[in-house]
Chains A and B, each alone.
Chain A
Amino acid sequence: MRSLFHKTIALLLFAVMVTSCHDKDSPNYQYMPDMYEPVSYEAYGEYTVFENGQEAKLPVENSIPRGWMPYEYQNNPQDAAAAKSGLTNPLAYTEDNLNEGKQLYTIYCAICHGDKGDGKGKLVEREKILGVPSYNDAGRAITEGSVYHVMYYGLNNMGSYASQTTIEERWQIDHYVMSLKNSLDGAPEREFEKETAKTQLLPSRADADIYKEGEDVDQGQSGANTRATEENQTETQE
């Protein structure tokens, strides 16, 4: 009896020791981790050489990523009105673009705006976010330009989606949003267009497209050609 009692205590202690060695909060030990530990700075890492200790940095001011184009309109009511009336979708209304736009819409927009664009997404149904208008709201009367402008800068409670999507992706979503508005209005479906050279000018995905056009004209002066293409793109955006 006595010895059984002692054994139980010993067993309990052992069990506690074994379980306490396993700690979920810290990673497991490694054997000779030479190759496990990176020599270079890791993305999002914390290192003293950086200001604020942050490896993740913002790009230098006024620098532009390759293939990206600055957006001409500023974030103010005047430019919003100008974009609403003047800005149009440079992408062709093709089935591919629409399908791509639908996928992206489902990821980024449908959670509030609803799969049909009627402003009844999951978050609205659960009353987390309220006041999401339908796309055929008469007072707003959205256009291709206004949709893009709002995606770029956000409006009121809606945030900017510029960091999650590329230029091309936003215009694809734009096509899909306008098609949703169309079906909410009960208007006939818009016919698909054919892809033309002019509608492929968008840079985003991109360097490949720029090179392709550069090669078409002259292989030697790709730099100059790229610039020419970029100017071309600015024109189509406006």
Chain B
Amino acid sequence: MKKVILRQSTSRQQLLSVAFLFSFTFLCFSQDTPQQDSTSQAMENQAAAADASTASTAQVGAGDATAGKELFNTLCASCHKPYSNSVGPALNGITERHDNDWIYKWIHNSAELIASGDAEAKAVYAEWNQTAMPAFPQLSESDIDNILAYVEQPKPQAPTAVAGSGIGEGSGAGGGVSMNIILGILIFVLVLLLLVLFLVNKTLRNFASASGIVIPEKPKRKPLYKSFVENQFLVLTSSIFVLLAVGYFAYGWTMQVGVDKGYQPIQPIHYSHRIHAGDNEIECKYCHSSARTSKTSGIPSLNVCMNCHKAIAEVAPETATEDYSKEFYDKEIAKLYNATGWDPASRTYSGEEKPVKWVRIHNLPDFAYFNHSQHVSVAGIQCQECHGPIEEMEVVYQNAPLTMGWCINCHRETNIRIEGNEYYEKIHEELSKKYGVEELTAAQMGGLECGKCHY
């Protein structure tokens, strides 16, 4: 039997494929472990923070701060914050500025106190732009004590700040770094493997030449292309095949001209639909209110943003993701304030407004008529039907191709909503009879007529 040195090529392939397989299993596991780590770490952090807050609660004594927090959140928090000025003054330190009896009177009915000519009350009223605080006759004095106990807690600055940033950055950086490290190690191992194989090959060749074994040269064969050209049948069938393939791909290429599916421009303000429509479940029509009543869904004017963002100047630490930090989101809210001229410190509009140049994503040319209200209000179609999983999009992209074929396909498949539409009852009945169907599709209502959309 002949001594063959270069037999290991198959075994080498096997080895490589095994290494390849292992690299994948490593990848799978690597995704799990760091996240678990970070979540458990986050939970520990939260637990620590909770401990700290309960400890500080116990220190205050006097009223019950936990009961006070609930009262504060439901009744006071719309205008007051414990540690910073809002519509009304910051409440931390209020017991030093005013005595308790005065505070009871003020909370029970501030308007009466001002009208009675109390100098202290008048001064406060004047200082805060004559904003009347509503009366809270339902609060007993012990309730007020509880609220005061809550707002007089020392600001839990250091511990919560550290815990908060720890949660945000720990999970983000931890996940990213470990992934990168593992990828790097894998690449390194692969490179090492290649190097070893190359060296083994080389030394074996050296051995071979040293021990005088001649490595058999491969005999020159007839080139493949020559034998291919000589076979006319093969040339004919393959050229037909190539032509068909070229035609297929050329057709595919021409059909995508002018189709913007997947278009995902960067907007001037990073507005996340994931946070607003997804996490907070705000109705689409809250902001796109004109989708109910008009042709366009409209870009919400900034006063709609300010309906909520007057109260929300920064995002919660848990809103931040691996890709977008809390600082990033806070900066985007600051951009909104800059555009509207809102000064969060003094809570006033400066009057200096700057237009926000949103980039339009869905562009339907003027020769095609589309009406949002017809689809949203009359047909009752969900926004997601055309716009895709908008509540999961951090950055919005165009989900549908917006081609005529796409429109017509939906018109053929969608049944129209007849309930509560007495005005058209007769027409619906007649059409159902004509087509012999129970439920009419939009196409049968004339949804395929050219003039319906092109006129």
Residues on A close to B: CB < 8 A?
Answer: 24-31, 33, 35-36, 38-40, 43-44, 46, 52-54, 56, 77, 106-108, 111, 119, 122-123, 126-134, 137-140, 154, 156-161, 163-166
Q: Which residue of B lies closest to A44 (CB)?
A: B299
Q: Which residue of B lies closest to A77 (CB)?
A: B132
Q: Is the CB of B296 within 8 A of A123?
A: no
Q: Is the CB of A164 within 8 A of B281?
A: no
Q: Is the CB of A30 within 8 A of B257?
A: yes
Q: How far does the alpha carbon of A127 sit from the alpha carbon of B311 in the complex, in Å?
A: 11
| Top 6 A-B residue pairs of the complex, sorted by shortest distance between their CB atoms | A131-B78, A131-B77, A130-B77, A159-B307, A164-B289, A24-B264
Enumerate 22 A-B pairs (CB-CB under 8 Å) in ascending A order.
Answer: A24-B263, A24-B265, A25-B264, A26-B263, A27-B260, A27-B363, A28-B257, A31-B258, A36-B258, A107-B286, A123-B308, A129-B78, A130-B74, A133-B78, A137-B75, A139-B134, A139-B136, A156-B78, A157-B311, A159-B307, A163-B303, A163-B304
What are the interface flags for B300-332 relative to A under an 8 Å C-beta threshold, 1 for contact and 0 otherwise?
A: 010110111011100010000000000000000
Q: How far is the CB of B5 from chain A (nearest CB, A)?
A: 16
Q: How far does the alpha carbon of A28 sit from the alpha carbon of B265 in the complex, in Å?
A: 12
Q: Is the CB of B134 within 8 A of A54?
A: no
4 more contacts with CB within 8 A, not counting A130-B78, A159-B306, are: A31-B258, A122-B280, A128-B280, A137-B75
Residues on B close to A: CB < 8 A?
Answer: 72-80, 86-87, 130-132, 134-138, 256-260, 262-266, 279-283, 285-286, 289, 293, 296, 299, 301, 303-304, 306-308, 310-312, 316, 355, 357-358, 360, 363, 365-367, 397
Q: Is the CB of B307 within 8 A of A46?
A: no
Q: Is the CB of A111 within 8 A of B260?
A: no
Q: Is the CB of B263 within 8 A of A129?
A: no
Question: Inside 8 A of B312's CB, which chain A residues have their CB?
Answer: 128-129
Q: Is the CB of B87 within 8 A of A24?
A: no
Contacts known (A27-B363, A35-B367); A131 close to B76, Cβ less than 8 A: yes
Q: Is the CB of A156 within 8 A of B87?
A: yes
Question: Inside 8 A of A107's CB, which chain B residues have their CB?
Answer: 283, 285-286, 289
Interface of B is mostly: loop
Question: Inside 8 A of A46's CB, which chain B residues have their CB?
Answer: 357
Choose among B75, B258, B299 the residue that contacts A33 (Cβ–Cβ < 8 A). B258
Q: Is the CB of A30 within 8 A of B258?
A: yes
Question: Inside 8 A of B263's CB, which chain A residues have their CB?
Answer: 24, 26-28
Choose among A43, A111, A163 the residue that contacts B282 (Cβ–Cβ < 8 A). A111
Q: Is the CB of A28 within 8 A of B259?
A: yes
Q: Which residue of B lies closest to A106 (CB)?
A: B283
Q: Which residue of B lies closest to A38 (CB)?
A: B366
Q: Which residue of B lies closest to A159 (CB)?
A: B307
Q: Which residue of B lies closest to A53 (CB)?
A: B355
Question: Inside 8 A of A140's CB, which chain B residues have their CB?
Answer: 134
Q: Is the CB of A123 within 8 A of B280?
A: yes
Q: Is the CB of A129 within 8 A of B365?
A: no
Choose among B286, B357, B366 the residue that contacts A108 (Cβ–Cβ < 8 A). B286
Q: How far does the alpha carbon of A111 sit from the alpha carbon of B73 in the complex, in Å?
A: 16
Interface centre among A127, A129, A137 (most CB of B within 10 A): A129
Choose among B130, B138, B260, B311 the residue that contacts A139 (Cβ–Cβ < 8 A). B138
Q: How far does the alpha carbon of A132 sit from the alpha carbon of B363 in the complex, in Å?
A: 39
Q: Is the CB of A133 within 8 A of B316?
A: no
Q: How far is the CB of B200 from chain A (nearest CB, A)?
A: 14
Q: How far is the CB of A25 from chain B (nearest CB, A)?
A: 6
Question: Inside 8 A of A161's CB, which chain B residues have their CB?
Answer: 307
Q: Which residue of B lies closest to A52 (CB)?
A: B355
Q: Which residue of A lies closest to B139 (CB)?
A: A139
Q: Is the CB of A77 within 8 A of B130?
A: yes
Q: How far does the alpha carbon of A43 sit from the alpha carbon of B297 in the complex, in Å?
A: 12
Q: How far does the alpha carbon of A52 sit from the alpha carbon of B354 in the complex, in Å?
A: 9
Q: How far does the alpha carbon of A87 sit from the alpha carbon of B260 in the complex, in Å?
A: 51
Q: Is the CB of A122 within 8 A of B316?
A: no
Q: How far is the CB of A125 from chain B (nearest CB, A)?
A: 10
Q: How far does the alpha carbon of A26 sit from the alpha carbon of B83 in the complex, in Å?
A: 46
Q: How far is the CB of A187 from chain B (nearest CB, A)?
A: 18
Q: Is the CB of A43 within 8 A of B283?
A: no
Q: Is the CB of B280 within 8 A of A28?
A: no
Question: Inside 8 A of A44's CB, which chain B residues have their CB?
Answer: 299, 358, 360
